[in-house]
Amino acid sequence: MLNRPGQTGETLRSFAQARGRYIGAAVAPGPLLGEPVYAETLAREFNMLTPENALKFGRTHPSRDRYTFQDADAIVAFAQANGMVVRGHTLVWHEVLPRWLTAGAFTRDELLPILHEHITTVVGRYRGQISAWDVVNEALGSDGAWRNTFWYKTIGPEYVDLAFRWAREADPQARLFYNDYGGEGMGRKSDAIYELVQGMRRRGVPIDGVGLQMHVRLDASPEPAEVAASLQRLAALGLAVHITEMDVRIQGPATEEKLTRQASIYRDMLRVCLAAENCGAFVFWGFTDRHSWIPRYFPGWGAALPFDEAYRPKPAYRALIEALKTP
């Protein structure tokens, strides 16, 4: 078929596999079950999947005594059928919380067992089937201070350590990550993430890695050397890094020139990851411009992913392949 990569077996997946790395994409159950080319492209190009929304608190735990796993189950089953691993996203976040929780006026003593039960139930259900979890997502603000979230307000900063301990108990095999954005290079946010996870290591909290989201813009992306330095200092703490949500958004029409610059950003970031031994996974937040959070959240912006709206590979795709092929 025209414009389809992979006819020669040269896929992101095959090259990543050869280098012992995971290459992944965030997925939604609607297109996964409804658009054959979505599922075909995923199975061909990726060996790791992240449910984009299906494992968030409000989705899995819609009322206090009821859990729903239909969407997450469908994604996990697809991954297993296609020999892919799953990243779990996310157990503790301040968004997508159900009303029963946020309007419940729970005290600290009431909220702790609720969170414990939630983590135990969700992680326990996928024990052995989800290889890495974003246990806590975005606990720090852009200035690096604690974000004054629902969890922070009632429990205090200790919620982070507790969440990791409970996740470890629920699945001792799963790798546990702290995930955040804006800390990919160097600077205040990156320092704050580093200090947070350094403290966790010192306290003996079971954390295995840091997820760097990497939602970047064509005109503002981190310096590769700074990202390399960031990966390196996390490695020195004994931590893995996953690039967890990469996209490169473009403002206005996606001209050839912009797509070429976008391709360089993708290539540079993947190269930095490949050069770092502790950077085991490189995940995009989606894979096709047909299904991306960007246009809805940033009107006038889009074309952020390696495949276009018709599932055709963009210059970014070819740049990623080149990066993977280059020793």
Give the residue numbers annotated as catalytic, written as ranges: 138, 245
* Rounded-to-integer distance, Cα 36 and Cα 311, Å: 11
| H or E element, residue 51 | strand 48-51
* Rounded-to-integer distance, Cα 169 and Cα 66, Å: 22
Q: Using CB under 6 A, which residues numbered 177 to 216 contact ligand G3I?
A: 213
Q: In a 3-state reduction of DSSP, which class is residue 256?
A: helix
Fill in the per-residue mask, 291 to 310: x = in contact with ligand G3I (CB under 6 A), - = not in contact: --x-----------------
Fill in the per-residue mask, 104 to 123: x = in contact with ligand G3I (CB under 6 A), - = not in contact: --------------------
Minimum distance of ligand G3I from residue 161's CB (angstroms): 21
* Rounded-to-integer distance, Cα 57 and Cα 61, Å: 6
| Among 52-60, 64-72, 107-115, 258-266, the segment contacting ligand G3I (CB under 6 A) | 52-60
95 forms part of the interface with ligand G3I (CB under 6 A): yes
Q: Is 282 exposed, middle or buried (0-12, 13-18, 19+ CB in 10 A)?
A: buried
The number of residues that bind ligand G3I (CB under 6 A) is: 9
* Rounded-to-integer distance, Cα 28 and Cα 17, Å: 23
Q: How far is CA 149 from the centre of its chain?
A: 20
288 forms part of the interface with ligand G3I (CB under 6 A): no
Applying CB under 6 A, which of residues 12, 49, 52, 268 lies at the interface with ligand G3I? 52
Q: Using CB under 6 A, which residues numbered 236 to 265 contact ligand G3I?
A: 245
| Among 50-58, 118-126, 267-275, 319-327, the segment contacting ligand G3I (CB under 6 A) | 50-58
Q: Is 125 exposed, middle or buried (0-12, 13-18, 19+ CB in 10 A)?
A: middle
- Chain residues that interact with ligand G3I, rule: CB under 6 A: 52-53, 56, 95-96, 137, 213, 245, 293
